[in-house]
Chain A
Amino acid sequence: MKIAVTGLNATDNPGPGVPVIRSLKEGGLPELQIIGLVYDSLEPGIYMDGLADKHYLIPYPSAGLEPLMEWLGYINSIEKIDMIIPTLDSELYAFVKLAPKLKALGIKTFLPSADQLNIRGKDKLFNFCKAEGINVPKNILAATLQDIYRVTSELSLPAVVKGIFYEAYIANNLEETSSYFRKIANKWGYPIIIQEYIRGTEYNVVALGDGNGGMTGAVPMKKLYITDKGKGWAGVSIQEPALLRISEKVISSIKWKGGMELEFMRSETTGEFYLLEINPRFPAWVYLAVGAGQNLPSAMVRMALGEEVQPFRDYKVGKMFVRCSWDILADITKLEQISTLGVI
């Protein structure tokens, strides 16, 4: 079978494409071939030998749905793709909207609906959690600089300033808040989320929802090393029933379909978990779940193919990952081919 995967940008802010492919390759899927869909000719995954069988450049979702669909249709006419796994937050709405057209071409997806995507959005998370009785930091949705001044009356400083898709900074005063507001707004648009800062330790969960309210699997992880971009560079699987309970509640309530990452902070004052974010796709550390005994990407593909997948009940505690920076050498012809022909 042929599966196309996006997000091969294995940089210091890594996309989940490379670990998703690694997971699929170990999932025992029959005659698996991987097509890498890339937005940039320097996405490191292109240069990793033995990762994807072929790569195609595709237009950014910001170029509009039609050019993207046109390209996907063209690639499919050559490759006859069985399934597409989009792995980046910023492209998910596009792929969710294109899912019926892809289905008409015989390409399967395993994605939430646009409504489900919206419920867990960074701008809607607070209301969702309040309704479900889940601890969540207070927040302000800032659309103008004027809104920043609500921080002093409605929250306290420091506060976390977040983009609707990516980036987050801790602001210690109003000046920093307005500076981060501008920086993020220029890059990711509005609204900007200004969130109460919960002091504590960060925990994450990777999970898979079956689309009917069931949680097919989940593995919680504690970040052991965090980069200056807030990315986990090392982590370890842990056993914390409370994290699994909250994750199951979220998936059951939304009837989530697909991969998901839940980000938590355990308050150092109360010891309680606060749900900071729900990312609507597998995280870049999803391969840890495979190592811990839950091949979630592979299970997702099997569900997309209509197989009955039994939920994972267990995983290995104490399995850890450490990322590394490793130079890959390649001939310039590789860059030439992908950047001029759009395929390699």
Chain B
Amino acid sequence: MKIFEVPGYAAISETGFIFLGNTGETFNLNEIGKEIYELIKKKKPYDEIVSEIMNNYDSDQLTVERDLDDFINQLKSFGLVTEK
């Protein structure tokens, strides 16, 4: 079961603005990006995130998984999440 983690130095605001305290970098997430990031922050496993997004956005599993993988890879490349 894949679980991702938000590092302690990453702070996210209600508007989806992320500040990395260790590098000073900032990022903006859109609504769904923020929703996923909050789920990761709550330590929800990958499968649960997929189901929640499928339910909330009326989308099929394949599409959600493909987009989520792409998004998580971007988050990892910027140091915004790590894989447990």
Which A residues have a C-beta under 8 Å from some C-beta of B?
201, 203, 221-222, 224, 235-240, 266, 317-318
Contacts and interface: CB of A to CB of B under 8 A. Distances in A.
Contacts of B24: 203, 221-222, 224, 235-238
Contacts of B26: 224
A219 B15 CA distance: 28
B11 A238 contact: no
B11 A239 contact: no
Where chain A touches its partner, the secondary structure class is: strand
Given A201-B23, A236-B19, A239-B21, 20 more contacts: A203-B24, A221-B24, A222-B23, A222-B24, A222-B25, A224-B24, A235-B24, A236-B24, A238-B21, A238-B22, A238-B23, A238-B24, A239-B9, A239-B22, A240-B22, A240-B23, A266-B23, A318-B11, A318-B19, A318-B21
Interface residues of B, number: 9
A94 to B, nearest CB: 36
5 closest A-B pairs (Cβ-Cβ)?
Answer: A222-B24, A238-B24, A317-B21, A239-B21, A236-B24
Nearest to B24: A222
A239 B11 CA distance: 12
Nearest to B19: A318
For the residues of B in contact with A, the DSSP-based class is: loop
Contacts of A224: 24, 26
22 contacts: A201-B23, A203-B24, A221-B24, A222-B23, A222-B24, A222-B25, A224-B24, A224-B26, A235-B24, A236-B19, A236-B24, A237-B24, A238-B21, A238-B23, A239-B21, A239-B22, A240-B22, A240-B23, A266-B23, A317-B21, A318-B19, A318-B21
Contacts of A236: 19, 24
A237 B24 CA distance: 7
A318 B21 CA distance: 7
Nearest to A243: B22
A236 B19 CA distance: 10
Contacts of A221: 24
Nearest to B8: A239
A248 to B, nearest CB: 18
A243 B66 CA distance: 39
Nearest to A222: B24
A239 B23 CA distance: 7
Contacts of A222: 23-25
A333 B56 CA distance: 69
Contacts of A239: 9, 21-22
A235 B23 CA distance: 11
Contacts of B11: 318
Interface string B50-77: 0000000000000000000000000000
B2 to A, nearest CB: 25
A140 B19 CA distance: 38
Nearest to A266: B23
A266 B9 CA distance: 18
A250 to B, nearest CB: 21
B76 to A, nearest CB: 15
Contacts of B19: 236, 318
B20 to A, nearest CB: 8
A80 B22 CA distance: 45
Nearest to A242: B22
Nearest to A320: B24
Contacts of A240: 22-23
A148 to B, nearest CB: 35
A135 B19 CA distance: 27
